[in-house]
A and B are shown apart, each in its own frame.
Chain A
Amino acid sequence: MTMREKIKDAAARYPDQRSAIMPALLIAQREHGHLPGQVLEEVADILGVERIWVYELATFYTLFHTEPVGMFHLQLCDNVSCMLCGAEDLLKHLETALAIRKGDTTPDGMFTLSSVECLGACEMAPVMQVGDDYHGALDVARIDALLDNLRATTERVASIEPSTRPQGE
């Protein structure tokens, strides 16, 4: 399905099209990686709602990114349960390992590093979300292994001829 079709499909669940703005933004972000102004306006046009309503939501909710993020968005939770289990040291380690500060993206565009509020997985603290996946009970060794694994994934994908790449990678 095209983005327009996906948005229309999601909008059918609501009696009011304004309700579909959040689902539409999530669909658009998955499609484009982030939400620049032209995408916000396209979403407004598809739903037939005021553009300012779309801008309002895109700038209020933290899961919407109006600026580009890296191929892998590393979102380390440093709220209380994770903090008590060493998240602070892990954040410093990630900053050193990636040679960037929290909030930045590596120059190659591969990693964006963020600290986030509670991920709701406190039983496996400290926790980090990478894309759709949660990684828990983290320590320095597990973080290093995870970074190696993510780098290897991109190298593997890059080595495949574009025409034979699996869809979605």
Chain B
Amino acid sequence: MFEPVLLKNVAAPDSHLLSTYEAGGGYQALAKALREYTPDEVVNLVKQSNLRGRGGAGFPTGMKWSFVPKQVDKPKYLCCNADEGEPGTFKDRIIMERDPHQLIEGLAVSAYAIGAKTAYVYIRGEYVTAIRRLEQAIAEAHEKGYLGTGILGSNFDFAVHIHCGAGAYICGEETAMLESLEGKRAQPRLKPPFPAVAGLYASPTVINNVETLACVPHIVARGADWFRGIGPDKSPGPKLYCLSGQVRKPGLYELPMGIPLRELVEEHAGGALPGRKIKAVIPGGVSAPVIPEHGLDVRMDFDSLAAAGSMLGSAGVIVIDDSTCMVKVATRIMEFFHHESCGKCTPCREGLNWVVKVLRRVEGGDGAPGDLEQLEMLCKGIFGNTFCALGDGAAMGLRAALAHFRNEFVAHVEERRCPFH
């Protein structure tokens, strides 16, 4: 029987307060880490758990931490990626609004492991409630000695600062986030050097997602074997799934990694709206290639979805029913990527502009023979030719829509109208 841990507090009254968090065993993991483990032992514990980053890429967290050089003169930084901007995704907001101490404890344990004394939580500026709750929680934690100098009688000093974003999706890309934190336009950096070696202010920096950091105290408290015992071997652990779109019970669900997508949508989220049938599902935010209904038996983990031609991404599951035009969905997604392209790389900046123009005319009934081939040519020009994954995500999404729902694109061009209007 699966027992939720990440969301276990969120429904409680005053779940955001320190007293509620402590009553549920909060900050015991921090005390245990400081009392029983060296920093290297915490890194090894997280490595053994096989925790993979929940921000989208799925990189092993313990391995990322181990890349931080041990002997450096510069300060080390921990950055929390809380700039949740992937359409379909809202999991980090729920943690920050309703259980902010879980994140703070995760930050403190992680900072202890990598040797950082300062963390910046880069949180999207729209999340005003989350920002206020996190500010309040930081003050409470400071007051109680979970943050500050000599934490819980140890020689570990640690401060958490909030840095508010200002509405740029590209800040979710880790090097663009660092540029933004340094007060510049958020544009991705060329790697290497990787942030673990030269990140914020050219110092060693670890960047982790909110959900990833929230997993860390539970690994310390319950052990690596407990974590590894949930879900598939290669990407274990509890997972937050965001359900939205044309589905009966949208919301945030904590279930094991690797749950079948069909079970998630049809059983947990109640399936299609009354009188409708599911046509397609986007499994991991709009960067993740769409999966048609017949492909819903795939498991929700990094490797299974990659093998099925999509990706887990942020686990922002968007359900689309048979009343919806897939050309319209594809157009809206490409409009998003075009709007959010930072402008650094020509294939992304210009290519997505061109893609949107073609899609708008196809959806509007002015499509011409050859338009679909032109879209494929544009995807080829964008994919793999940019600094960061924004262009790749857009190209993969459009390619999947063209492959799985080509009949709808063709119908628009041949009938010179949208068949759904």
Contact = CB atoms under 8 A, between A and B. Distances in A.
B240 to A, nearest CB: 12
Contacts of A60: 168, 185-186
Interface stretch (B44-52, B100-108, B143-151, B158-166): B158-166
A122 interface: yes
B339 interface: yes
Interface stretch (B56-64, B88-96, B227-235, B407-415): B88-96
Contacts of A83: 328-329, 332
A85 B339 CA distance: 21
A119 B185 contact: no
Interface string A9-34: 00001011111111101100000000
Interface string B123-140: 011111100000000000
B250 interface: yes
A122 B250 contact: yes
Nearest to B77: A15
Nearest to B316: A122
Interface string A149-161: 0000000000000
A117 B340 contact: yes
Contacts of B250: 81, 122-125
Interface residues of B, number: 53
A81 B318 contact: yes
Contacts of B201: 15-16
Contacts of B333: 80
A120 B185 contact: no
Most A-side CB within 10 Å, residue of B167, B320, B328: B167
A108 interface: no
A118 interface: yes
B93 A63 contact: no
B394 to A, nearest CB: 13
B324 A84 contact: yes
Name B's interface SS: mixed
A140 interface: no
Contact of A62 (B161, B168, B185, B329): B168
A124 B97 CA distance: 15
Contacts of A121: 90, 93
Nearest to A18: B183
A120 B85 contact: yes
Interface in B306-337: 316, 318-320, 324, 328-329, 332-333, 336
B183 A123 contact: no
B418 to A, nearest CB: 13
B81 interface: no
Contacts of B318: 80-81, 84, 122
B252 interface: yes
Nearest to B247: A84
A57 interface: yes
Contacts of B332: 78-80, 83
Interface string B153-193: 00000000101111111000000000011111110000000
A72 interface: no
Given A122-B250, A123-B242, A61 B168 contact: yes
Interface string A109-150: 000000001111111110001001110000000000000000
Most B-side CB within 10 Å, residue of A57, A121, A123, A124: A123
Interface string A60-91: 11111000000000000011110111000000
Nearest to A24: B183
Contact of A19 (B183, B319, B340): B183
A32 to B, nearest CB: 15
A63 B131 CA distance: 15
Interface of B: 84-90, 92-93, 124-129, 161, 163-169, 180-186, 201, 242-246, 250-252, 282, 286, 316, 318-320, 324, 328-329, 332-333, 336, 339-340
Shortest beta-carbon contacts, A-B, top 6 = A61-B166, A18-B183, A122-B244, A62-B167, A118-B87, A63-B167
Interface of A: 13, 15-23, 25-26, 49, 53, 56-57, 60-64, 78-81, 83-85, 117-125, 129, 132-134
13 contacts: A20-B183, A22-B163, A56-B184, A61-B168, A61-B186, A63-B126, A63-B165, A63-B166, A78-B332, A80-B87, A80-B336, A117-B336, A122-B245
